[in-house]
Each structure stands twice: as C-alpha cells, then as structure tokens.
Amino acid sequence: MATPYGHTLAGLTLLNLCYPQTAPSKGREWFVYGLVALGASFPDLDFIPGLILGQVGRFHHGNFHSLGVAIGAALIAGIFIKLIQPRSSFIKTGSFVFCLGISHLFLDYFTEAPYGFPLFWPFMETKFLSPLPIFPRVAWIWEDPVFWSQALFCFSVESVLLLPLWIISWRRVISPEQI
C-alpha cells in the first residue's frame, strides 16, 4: 500500500485542483489540511479493528478499500457539511470526498502488494491489483531490520512521483506575488 505520506500528497493536490485560488484562511489552514489528509487516508483506518485484536493486517484492504465506502463517505460528508454550514455545497463537498477516496484506491491499486482489494464491494468481492506496480510496498513491521530502509525507499518513490504534482497544483493557489 502507499504510505499515508503518499495519500496525503495526492489529497492535497486534489484540494488545490478542486479549490484553486481559495487557500484556507489563516488559522484554519492546518485544520483543513488535516481533514484532507484524514480523508485521503481514510480507507486505511480498517487496520484499527485488527490492531485492537492484535492482528494488524486482518481487516486491511477489506471493504473500506472500495467504491461503495467512497460513495458512502462522500454522502455522509456532504450531509454533515450541509448541516453545519447550510450555504456550503453538498455536491461539491461530496464530490471532493469521493475524489479523495478514489485517489486512495488509485494509489493502492498501483502499489506492490501480495493481495488486492474489493474495488466494487458491495456488488463484487473480487479483489483487484495492478499487474504493473508503480509504488513499492512497505511491510509495516517496526521490528524488522529492513523496515526503515523500505520506508525511506517508499517515501523517496512517492516524493519523486507525487511531490511534483502537488507543487504544480500549489502554484495555482499561491499567486507569484506571494512567493
């Protein structure tokens, strides 16, 4: 799977592309960026039940990694934002949250992994995974002596592939006069 760093870069890129020239107001920017990072990494929260049971990977890449959950999260976020900010757009918020979910699935699809994920759940249980991975896999076993070198390699690949996209999208938000 891609790392939370990679998912966050993809999410922040989407934020800049979907909401250009509308950087969050001072004081709220880190809150917005945090919500985007959480939304882009949301499907990976399926590790929590396994963590509680002492089997971290037991539920990972399960139903949370699906279009069904992305649609559900988009609907819930759209309704929630409409309730707390009636002037906000249900469609725009829901669409953005759906795009965050899709970005997560896209990155995980192209990540080297021993198994796929049920992309079309709840309609199909078939697991999908690209035969040509782009992103390396990190075995999240802290005690493994090669963990840190694997993680560094993964962060490096994600930086080379995703950081330029975020920088290009960021330039749309920050005007040249502000640099």
Walking along the chain (179 residues) 10 residues at a time, the average pLDDT comes out as 91 90 69 91 86 76 89 95 90 94 95 87 91 86 78 94 92 55
CB 54 within 8 A of CB 44: no
pLDDT of the residue at 172: 65
pLDDT of the residue at 174: 55
- What one-letter code names the amino acid at 173? V
Q: Would you tell me how many other CB atoms lie within 10 Å of the CB of residue 93?
A: 18
Sign of CA dihedral 33, 34, 35, 36: positive
Domain count, the chain: 1
- Residue-number span of the structural domain to which 160 is assigned: 4-178
Task: Note the pTM of the prediction, 2 decimals.
Answer: 0.87
Q: How far is the C-alpha of 32 from the C-alpha of 42, rounded, in Å?
A: 15
